Structure 1
Amino acid sequence: MLLLQRANELLAENKLREAEFMYKSVLKQSPKNGAALFGVGRICMRLEQYDNAIYYLKRACEHLPKMLEPLFALADAFLAVGSPVDAKTVLEYTLSVAKHNAQAHYQLGQFYLDYGFIEQAKNVFKAGLSCPHSAVTAFMLYELVQMSKPNALSSYLIQLTKLEEEFETPRLKTVVYYAKAKCHERLGDYKLAQEHFALANETQLSLSEFRTLDMLPFFESIKRYCGQSFFNKPSDKVKTTFTPVFIVGLPRTGSTLLEQMLVQHSNIGTLGENTVISDKIVPYLSMRNNAEFPACLNQLSNSMLDHCRILYVDEIKRHRVSEEVVINKLPANFQNLGLIHKLFPEARVIHLTRNFKATAWSVYSNHFAESEPYFCSLSEFALYAQAQSDLMSHFYQFMKRDIFTFSYEQLIAEPEKTIKKCLGFLYQKYEPECLDFHKSKKPVHTLSKAQVRKPISTQPLEKWQRYEGFIEKMIPQPQSDQTTQANL
């Protein structure tokens, strides 16, 4: 037991190799020890050794029949290897043996939601409300108030008010405030909605450990290190077997909608909002050059860049993306465009823009898991948006031919025309299936997961106008109507 306890401590400290040694020492003595099997399975997940993870997690589930965590981890492992059918089987089994567990309902409901089974998700979340309250009860209500019919909302408001009294932690209160705001909005009480959106954002902002102003020197340093001399240095003659595509911009500018339209094309696949550049490539360069980003870009040898390309290709293989065009739609990759240009000189960059006030309100009125200041303050978002616009203008000087900019409003107003031009930029011919994106069951993991299961609507274009006075009050400084000008 001491070995197992120490292994758990090491895993908590992210000392994976030491923890693995301890767990396997336990398994030598007791091959059926479920806790040790689960520990090794979790380590395999962190190391992205998913086939091994499935092996150990299956065995852990056999020997820990009353624990749900190994089952949830096994479902995640199946999703990681591109087997949603197996993940669905595991999650449905979990719910069948834990009908009174709110977490089991939430996990299965989220799976249904991610894969476009909206009605099934709604039913599972509703059933989960009868379970003893836990943190996920607030998250289930947050989803339900956005997908249920108006006649159910009054009941949800009562439940949310009770949770508001039960929960003490700011993080959970934030979710309740957002859910109540969405509820009031759908009931047409925009004054109460605005008050609760403000409560939600103020509470979440209190959890942030920095402010957007702290980031501005970082953005300026990117301009310095990725200036004229950086782009003047000859790039490798790289010939890739795929076309890397990066959709960048501010959050809530329509990147999920665009991605879902594009991936209906027979030659286009996606990595989703993938962080391989910031999580693997940048740390490697920082280690090799003994400098943080962006200073680590000062010396980029061919061997370093080759290794970075291998890391990116490995990520594509891990996600089993076999199409000719590979999308990465992480909006924050606008910070990495200089590095992306060096890695893949032929990369295509799609820059999405949107009316500033509409973007600001969409960010302000949606709950982001991360307590970053620009997600939960209109004034903080204005600073971030200006910094993003300035950096895009900087990169546009050097990458004009590689960046295609258009607006969310253009995509909504003329979807076929816009997608045709976008596909032309990606060297692809138009396929009409791109307009049938809402019928797809491909997974979506962003805040727009339910919205993209519906045909294109102009409603989001006008929603923010109900709160225009509040937006202007919170953002006193002048802002451009458009986050960045389009070149469509």
Structure 2
Amino acid sequence: MSSLSQAEQYLVKGEYRLAEQTFTELTHNRPSSKETGYAFMGLGQLALMAKKGDAAVEHLSHACEFLSGEIKPLCLLADAFNMVNAHEDALTVLNYANQVVPESATLRYQLAQQQILMGESEQAKAHLKLAIEQLSQRYLDATDLFSIEALSLFANCLLSFSCLQKVQFDRQQVAPLTCQSANAHFDSQIQTQTYALLELCDKNYRQHSSVDGIKVRLHYALANQFHRQTHYAQALTHYKQANRSQFEQCKVTTSELTAYFDLIKAFAGPDALAIQSDQTFDVTPIFILGLPNSGASRLEQMLCAHPQVDSAGECSYLADDVLTTAYKLTAKHYPRSLSDLSTEQLNHLAEHYLNRLKQFVNPEFDANALSHSNQRFHPEVTHIIDRLPANFQSIGLIYKLFPHAKVINVRREANAVKWAVYQRCFAGNQPYFCSLTEFEHYQHAYNSLMAHWDKTLPGVVFDLDGERLISKAEKQLSTLLRFCQLPEDESVITHSAVQSQGIAGDQGWQHYQKLISGKM
């Protein structure tokens, strides 16, 4: 067995240290151009898994040099660029890869996802449409050639395309689908194809471990298609089927999570929160949190129009980095670790967290290079957003790390949130995301924990009404900017006006109100 094959086996088996050692030796010995390229690609994959974006970019750039014309290292390099917030570079790489292999539906799907990430929805729809057409021509007349991977890709393309169409429809940018619609034939075609793929799942792949997830995505795609046609009863049938299938795959219960919330309330009292970091930082973090689909991303976009604000998006640095390090320091898991962290330790954790945010916003930022100088990491940015909704569980920790952080809890009408979650295909199978009853329990636990923070840390959290952010954006944003200690800026108001135009989807749940007795 060659050294390269051995390293790749180590990678598959999860023996990452051995894989890294073997790949590294290959990059030094350079047995051949191709093997050297694959070794760099292996190191890049390991760096991506470890969330070391800069290292991933370096290794995968070398891989692309040695593996000229190969697509996989280019796709991985795009992932690495996204990890360090270099979205334009990722788009450039994917556009180039698409030119090299224009017939690849996989590439078109990844390019579409990149464009969705960058807000280019029309371009994303065009690439998804081409990918769907390519997959249709290749497989639907010869279903025996369909691999489970191709079936999964087809489902992903159909779901993404239907989601983009639904968003446009809900925001009243397009008319309801009718037989006179310019795209009616294609829409009818993909609906037929989605049914055909569901039949294929049951016929040929019933025993495959990943088929249930594929069927879930196909049901969501059909539901979105019927929603856009205003056939709400049929849409609901498929939303129910999708959520029911996801619920059956859940391995945890909402009651386990509510017990964890009770534990937070018990251990995050005034005494545990009495000691905080006393370090002064040149950047103020803004935490936008709350229940999912409450309007956090819309608020993030509005605030990012301010020249002093940037965002790291939904980052998991608190859970992945800070809480992991806190456990190593105290030998206790959160929330028990809260009371054992010293001021010095809190200073270290806060600085490490902020450096991660800064590196995301400015990939060229070098904390060590600036530690002994008065130079700022960015000439304008004074506030960075962390938009992970689940951070509401960690408000006590946030307060201890950053007593002057700006914490914004986005609230929305309960039924609107519940329905927005129910009709969305989440990657993970969490019970409260795929059951209306379970989500009500989750809502109650969230409200109870927020009430605890309001009582324990009065004035720390700014409650923002998501609906009023649309109906009275200027007034809401003026108040919010004062809370964040940011000067008013006309670009924020202008951007909010654009964001608010045509948005009517927040009340979409009302179409289903009569169809779900006692649940809405």
Normalising by structure 2, report the TM-score. 0.84
| Cα distance, 1:388 vs structure 2 | 0.5
2:314 pairs with one of 273, 297, 317: 273
Q: How many residues align?
A: 461
Distance 1:454 1:346, change over 3 A: closer
2:196 pairs with one of 151, 155, 162: 162
| Cα distance, 1:474 vs structure 2 | 3.8
2:129 paired with 1:112: no
2:243 paired with 1:201: yes
Report the equivalent of 1:139.
Answer: 156
2:259 paired with 1:217: yes
Give runs of aligned pairs for residues 384-403 of structure 1, distance below 5 A. Answer: 384-403=442-461
1:45 pairs with one of 44, 48, 53: 48
| Cα distance, 1:38 vs structure 2 | 0.8
2:146 paired with 1:129: no
AA at the equivalent of 2:215: K
| Cα distance, 1:406 vs structure 2 | 2.0
SS in 2 for 1:86: helix
AA at the equivalent of 1:463: G
Report the equivalent of 1:83.
Answer: 86
SS in 1 for 2:310: strand
Report the equivalent of 1:479.
Answer: none
Which is further off, 307-316 or 338-347? 307-316
| Cα distance, 1:433 vs structure 2 | 1.5
- Given that residues 88 and 111 in structure 1 are in contact (C-alpha distance below 8 angstroms), is that contact kept between their aligned partners in structure 2? yes
SS in 1 for 2:457: helix
Give runs of aligned pairs for residues 251-330 of structure 1, distance below 5 A. Answer: 251-321=292-362, 322=378, 323-330=381-388
Which is further off, 26-35 or 235-244? 26-35
1:177 pairs with one of 183, 197, 219: 219
Which is further off, 255-264 or 404-413? 404-413
- Given that residues 145 and 153 in structure 1 are in contact (C-alpha distance below 8 angstroms), is that contact kept between their aligned partners in structure 2? no
| Cα distance, 1:262 vs structure 2 | 0.5
| Cα distance, 1:243 vs structure 2 | 1.3
1:408 pairs with one of 466, 479, 502: 466
Which is further off, 272-281 or 97-106? 97-106
AA at the equivalent of 2:199: E
- Given that residues 4 and 26 in structure 2 are in contact (C-alpha distance below 8 angstroms), is that contact kept between their aligned partners in structure 1? yes
2:513 pairs with one of 468, 472, 480: 468
Report the equivalent of 1:447.
Answer: none
* Cα distance in 1 for residues equivalent to 2:499 and 2:396: 36
Distance 1:304 1:472, change over 3 A: farther
Which is further off, 92-101 or 381-390? 92-101
* Cα distance in 1 for residues equivalent to 2:389 and 2:54: 30
Report the equivalent of 2:374.
Answer: none
Report the equivalent of 1:235.
Answer: 276
- Given that residues 276 and 346 in structure 2 are in contact (C-alpha distance below 8 angstroms), is that contact kept between their aligned partners in structure 1? no
Distance 1:395 1:92, change over 3 A: same
Deviations 1:428-475 (A, max 9, x none): 122221244489xxxxxxxxxxxxx85444512321111123445347
Normalising by structure 1, report the TM-score. 0.89
SS in 1 for 2:512: helix
- Given that residues 112 and 120 in structure 1 are in contact (C-alpha distance below 8 angstroms), is that contact kept between their aligned partners in structure 2? yes
Aligned Cα root-mean-square deviation (Å):
2.1
- Given that residues 153 and 187 in structure 1 are in contact (C-alpha distance below 8 angstroms), is that contact kept between their aligned partners in structure 2? no
| Cα distance, 1:65 vs structure 2 | 4.5
2:398 paired with 1:340: yes
AA at the equivalent of 1:407: D
* Cα distance in 2 for residues equivalent to 1:207 and 1:434: 43
* Cα distance in 2 for residues equivalent to 1:235 and 1:41: 38
| Cα distance, 1:218 vs structure 2 | 0.7
* Cα distance in 2 for residues equivalent to 1:24 and 1:181: 48
| Cα distance, 1:205 vs structure 2 | 1.2
Which is further off, 267-276 or 25-34? 25-34
Distance 1:388 1:470, change over 3 A: farther
Deviations 1:110-138 (A, max 9, x none): 11121122221111111111223622222
Deviations 1:137-168 (A, max 9, x none): 22222222244463242222111111212234
AA at the equivalent of 1:159: Q
Which is further off, 283-292 or 361-370? 283-292
- Given that residues 357 and 471 in structure 1 are in contact (C-alpha distance below 8 angstroms), is that contact kept between their aligned partners in structure 2? no
Deviations 1:303-327 (A, max 9, x none): 3212211221221222135410111
Report the equivalent of 2:422.
Answer: 364
AA at the equivalent of 2:485: Y
Report the equivalent of 1:25.
Answer: 25
Runs of 4 or more above 6 Å deviation: none
* Cα distance in 2 for residues equivalent to 1:92 and 1:16: 31
2:62 paired with 1:59: yes
- Given that residues 191 and 225 in structure 2 are in contact (C-alpha distance below 8 angstroms), is that contact kept between their aligned partners in structure 1? yes
SS in 2 for 1:228: coil
Deviations 1:292-350 (A, max 9, x none): 22122231112321221122122122213541011111110000011111000111111
Structure 1 unpaired stretches of 5+ = 440-452, 476-488
* Cα distance in 1 for residues equivalent to 2:109 and 2:341: 46
* Cα distance in 2 for residues equivalent to 1:335 and 1:349: 12
Deviations 1:357-398 (A, max 9, x none): 110000001111111111111111111111011000001112
* Cα distance in 1 for residues equivalent to 2:458 and 2:132: 52
- Given that residues 78 and 86 in structure 1 are in contact (C-alpha distance below 8 angstroms), is that contact kept between their aligned partners in structure 2? yes
AA at the equivalent of 2:329: R
2:206 paired with 1:186: no
2:481 pairs with one of 407, 411, 423: 423
| Cα distance, 1:2 vs structure 2 | 4.2
AA at the equivalent of 1:187: Q
2:411 pairs with one of 343, 346, 353: 353
Report the equivalent of 1:482.
Answer: none
- Given that residues 53 and 83 in structure 2 are in contact (C-alpha distance below 8 angstroms), is that contact kept between their aligned partners in structure 1? yes
Report the equivalent of 2:372.
Answer: none
Deviations 1:66-117 (A, max 9, x none): 6422111111222333433332221112112222222101011111121122
Which is further off, 84-93 or 344-353? 84-93
SS in 1 for 2:384: strand
1:97 pairs with one of 100, 114, 139: 100
Deviations 1:395-438 (A, max 9, x none): 11122221110211111110111111111110112222124448
Distance 1:120 1:458, change over 3 A: closer
